């Protein structure tokens, strides 16, 4: 992997489900080991943008490149974390069972997982601080722990794309989760989709605002005082790189 | 009970019936656990009722057209597989229409079956045995067929365990990891179809859903992982089919209904015990 190449580039990508465009000429690049927040109003196209990144949807116009491949070819190498609220909370699996699902792309054909896969899964659990929970039933875990399990499962790939990782979590648990992501970010590229703009200035280095049109900003250096002053109005902290004003998320 | 064990030594009919129940329980435990985990018992119900159409047509061709090689069980296999493919295709392509299509197949399959049975000379007792099962009518050929289907279903269920688990839990993620989700989902439904046919011979098509889901649901109360559910569900299912046969023998009750009543009672007792023993935990 060439570190100088961007991890992901969108080149004039447009997408429409019917006639009306949901994503209009999105052009941006995400650098290696960047920490990116994808924000914007509900219905603005955040989910569509993620589905384009994952290759679940194909662009009507333009091109997407992830690690040198089209998304539908690269998707096996991407680490994706869906919202855990979309999954059955009573499903009969252990924590390790779930994390092992991340190894499916590496296992060919049928049969049980190899010791190599189990070791990789345990290492991923260790990285999110849940090594001692491997054998526990998933249904006994708290919401925050379940999110960490899904992050561990996604760690089989890179870049890490997370869909609303803090939805339905207590504020303290949300902070823990973002601290965790910041730790992981030392090693891998992270893209977080969030409708919660409260984290924009605190954690993200780059912000992608999606509201049909797509604009990229870098978050500036911030002092504690500034954060304290402006907590809750972080959108103002988005420093615009382009002529576009940082108002898409208001 | 004592009469049952005495008769079991003498009667090959009873031995075959017992064996059919035990063999069917293996597929029942494996596939039933997938059905409960993925919450598709309604699909299993639709497939089960559809088999009446296949059995009715096969019996008609056998009796009226003289296709002596064609048994009702063959018709059931074909009908169940067709139903599984249609339901699977619709649920993958047009999610919002799934329940309508299942209902249509459910009732439509039964209607076709009843029409063909009405046009076939003979008494309605066959109809009763299709609907509510008559394990004592299981022939040696049926037993071979049931055993063959059993081996097939269990082998597939264990061979692709990891893939089925991933597809059932989070299909979108499995697809991103390169798993052919559509293929495995359709394969799972085909296995449900074959298991339903196996169980129809034991308890009849109306009672199939109970035998498919209740042992797995009971098992799910005690163990947290799918393969553990499968093992326990197999044992529960064996106990229920054997127990149903034994209890129904002396008073000459229908064995299928006795089996299902046992399952239902066990499920009820399990839930009540769990509530009483752990009042603070939410029962699932």
Q: What is the pLDDT of residues A50-86, one digit of tens each?
A: 999 999 899 999 999 998 888 888 888 889 998 877 8
pLDDT at B262 over 50: yes
- B28/chain A closest Cα distance in angstroms: 17
Cβ distance B30 to B230 under 8 Å? yes
Contact A137 B225 (CB under 8 A): yes
- Domain assignment present for A248: no
Q: Which of B40, B177, B182, B213 to mutate to test the interface with A (most CBs of A within 10 A)?
A: B177
Instruction: Say how many CB pairs under 8 Å bridge A and B.
Output: 82
**Which residue of chain B comes nearest to A57, CA vs CA?**
B176
**Which residue of chain A comes nearest to B38, CA vs CA?**
A91
Contact A91 B178 (CB under 8 A): no
- pLDDT-based confidence at residue A228 (cuts at 50, 70, 90): very low
CA distance A160 to A155: 7
| Per-residue pLDDT, B99 | 87
**Which residue of chain A comes nearest to B168, CA vs CA?**
A91
| Per-residue pLDDT, B98 | 84
Tens of pLDDT along A186-220?
A: 999 999 998 776 666 678 888 888 888 888 877 76
Contact A94 B170 (CB under 8 A): no
Query: A33 with A142, same domain?
Result: no
CATH code where residue A1 lies: 3.40.50.300
Query: A136 with A115, same domain?
Result: yes
CA distances B139 to B65, B240, B241, B244, B283, Å, are 22, 21, 17, 19, 42
Contact A91 B37 (CB under 8 A): yes
| Per-residue pLDDT, B95 | 66
- Domain assignment present for A166: yes
Count of domains for chain A:
2
Query: A4 with A27, same domain?
Result: yes
Average pLDDT of chain B to the nearest whole number: 90
Nearest CB to A101 within list B33, B160, B173 = B173
What is the interface pTM, i.e. ipTM, of the complex?
0.86
- pLDDT-based confidence at residue B85 (cuts at 50, 70, 90): very high
| Per-residue pLDDT, A206 | 86
Interface of chain B toward chain A, CB-CB under 8 angstroms: 33, 37, 39, 159-163, 165-166, 168-170, 172-179, 220, 223-226, 228-229, 284
Domain limits at A119? 86-156
- What mean pLDDT do residues B44-51 have? 95
- pLDDT-based confidence at residue B280 (cuts at 50, 70, 90): low
Query: A31 with A140, same domain?
Result: no
Contact B178 A88 (CB under 8 A): no
Query: A47 with A106, same domain?
Result: no
Average pLDDT of chain A to the nearest whole number: 81
| Per-residue pLDDT, B2 | 81
| Per-residue pLDDT, B150 | 93
- Domain assignment present for A194: no
CA distance B214 to B29: 10
Give the pair of three-digit tokens for residue B201.
Answer: 């011979």
Using a 10 angstrom Cβ sphere, with 0-12 exposed, 13-18 middle and 19 or more buried, the burial of residue B273 is exposed
CA distances B230 to A159, B20, B162, B236, Å, are 36, 19, 14, 10
pLDDT at B122 over 80: no
- Tally of CB atoms within 10 A around A20: 8
- What mean pLDDT do residues A119-148 have? 92
Cβ distance A239 to A216 under 8 Å? no
- A51/chain B closest Cα distance in angstroms: 11
Q: What is the pTM assigned to this prediction?
A: 0.88
| Per-residue pLDDT, A248 | 47
Query: A111 with A11, same domain?
Result: no
Nearest to B14, CA basis, from B250, B214, B188, B211? B250
| Per-residue pLDDT, A232 | 39
Query: A60 with A176, same domain?
Result: yes
pLDDT at B161 over 90: yes
- Domain assignment present for A119: yes
**Which residue of chain A comes nearest to B33, CA vs CA?**
A92
- What mean pLDDT do residues B159-170 have? 94
Max CA separation in chain B (angstroms) = 63
pLDDT at B6 over 70: yes
Percentage of chain B with pLDDT > 90? Answer: 66
Contact A105 B177 (CB under 8 A): yes
Annotated domain spans of chain B = 2-277
- B223/chain A closest Cα distance in angstroms: 8
CA distance B76 to B208: 13
- What mean pLDDT do residues B143-148 have? 91
Query: A104 with A166, same domain?
Result: no
pLDDT at B283 over 70: no
Query: A148 with A169, same domain?
Result: no
| Per-residue pLDDT, A242 | 41
Query: A14 with A138, same domain?
Result: no
- pLDDT-based confidence at residue A113 (cuts at 50, 70, 90): confident
CA distance B75 to B57: 7
pLDDT at B106 over 80: yes
CA distance A151 to A219: 24
The partner residues of A8 in beta bridges, in order of sequence, read: A30, A66
Nearest CB to B172 within list A82, A88, A93 = A82
CA distance B3 to A246: 85
- Domain assignment present for A242: no
Cβ distance B145 to B73 under 8 Å? yes
Nearest CB to B170 within list A87, A90, A110 = A87
- pLDDT-based confidence at residue A30 (cuts at 50, 70, 90): very high
Q: Which of B30, B173, B187, B278 to mutate to test the interface with A (most CBs of A within 10 A)?
A: B173
CA distance B178 to B163: 11
- Domain assignment present for A198: no
Give the pair of three-digit tokens for residue B263.
Answer: 């399952």
- Domain assignment present for A107: yes
Chain B residues whose beta carbon lies within 8 Å of the beta carbon of residue A117 = none
Chain B residues whose beta carbon lies within 8 Å of the beta carbon of residue A101 = 162, 165-166, 169-170, 173-174, 177
Tens of pLDDT along A159-176?
A: 899 988 887 788 888 888
- Domain assignment present for A123: yes
Radius of gyration of chain A (CA): 18
pLDDT at A230 over 70: no
Q: Which of B37, B155, B224 to mutate to test the interface with A (most CBs of A within 10 A)?
A: B224
| Per-residue pLDDT, A247 | 44
Q: What's the topology of domain B2-277?
A: ABC transporter involved in vitamin B12 uptake, BtuC (1.10.3470)
């Amino acid at each position: 992997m060439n570190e100088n190449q961007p991890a992901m580039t969108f080149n004039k990508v447009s997408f429409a489900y019917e006639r009306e465009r949901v994503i209009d000429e999105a052009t941006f690049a995400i650098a290696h080991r960047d920490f990116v927040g994808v924000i914007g109003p509900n219905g603005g196209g955040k989910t569509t943008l993620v589905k384009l990144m994952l290759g679940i949807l194909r662009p009507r116009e333009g091109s997407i490149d992830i690690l040198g491949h089209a998304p539908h070819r690269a998707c096996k190498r991407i680490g994706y974390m869906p919202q855990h609220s979309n999954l059955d909370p009573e499903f009969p699996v252990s924590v390790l069972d779930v994390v092992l699902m991340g190894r499916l792309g590496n296992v060919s054909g049928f049969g049980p997982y190899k010791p190599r896969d189990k070791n990789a899964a345990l290492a991923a659990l260790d990285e999110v601080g849940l090594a001692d929970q491997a054998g526990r039933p998933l249904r006994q875990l708290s919401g925050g722990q379940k999110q960490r399990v899904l992050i561990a499962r996604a760690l089989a790939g890179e870049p890490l794309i997370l869909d609303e990782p803090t939805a339905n979590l207590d504020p303290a648990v949300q902070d823990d989760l973002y601290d965790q992501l910041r730790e992981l970010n030392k090693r891998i590229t992270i893209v977080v989709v969030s409708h919660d703009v409260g984290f924009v200035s605190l954690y993200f280095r780059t912000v992608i605002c999606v509201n049909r049109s797509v604009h990229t900003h870098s978050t500036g250096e911030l002092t504690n005082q500034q954060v304290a002053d402006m907590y809750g109005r972080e959108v103002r902290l988005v420093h615009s790189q382009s002529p576009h004003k940082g108002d898409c998320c208001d | 009970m004592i009469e049952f064990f005495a008769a079991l030594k003498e009667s090959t009919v009873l031995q075959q019936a017992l064996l059919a129940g035990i063999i069917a329980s293996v597929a029942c435990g494996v596939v039933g656990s997938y059905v409960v985990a993925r919450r598709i018992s309604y699909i299993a119900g639709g497939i089960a009722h559809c088999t009446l159409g296949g059995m009715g047509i096969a019996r008609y061709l056998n009796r009226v057209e003289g296709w002596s090689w064609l048994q009702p069980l063959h018709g059931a296999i074909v009908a169940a597989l067709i139903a599984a493919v249609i339901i699977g295709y619709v649920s993958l392509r047009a999610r919002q229409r799934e329940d309508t299509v299942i209902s249509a197949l459910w009732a439509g399959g039964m209607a076709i079956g009843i029409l063909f049975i009405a046009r076939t000379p003979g008494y309605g007792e066959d109809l009763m045995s299709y609907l509510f099962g008559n394990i004592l009518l299981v022939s040696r050929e049926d037993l071979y067929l049931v055993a063959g289907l059993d081996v097939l279903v269990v082998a597939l269920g264990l061979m692709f365990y990891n893939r089925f688990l991933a597809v059932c839990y989070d299909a979108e993620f499995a697809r991103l990891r390169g798993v052919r989700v559509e293929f495995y989902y359709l394969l799972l439904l085909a296995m449900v179809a074959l298991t339903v046919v196996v169980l129809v011979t034991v308890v009849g098509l109306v009672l199939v859903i109970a035998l498919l889901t209740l042992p797995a649901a009971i098992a799910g109360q005690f163990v947290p992982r799918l393969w553990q559910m499968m093992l326990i569900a197999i044992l529960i299912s064996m106990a229920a089919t054997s127990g149903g046969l034994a209890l129904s023998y002396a008073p000459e009750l229908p064995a299928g209904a006795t089996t299902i009543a046992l399952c239902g009672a066990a499920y009820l007792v399990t839930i009540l015990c769990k509530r009483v023993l752990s009042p603070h935990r939410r029962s699932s």
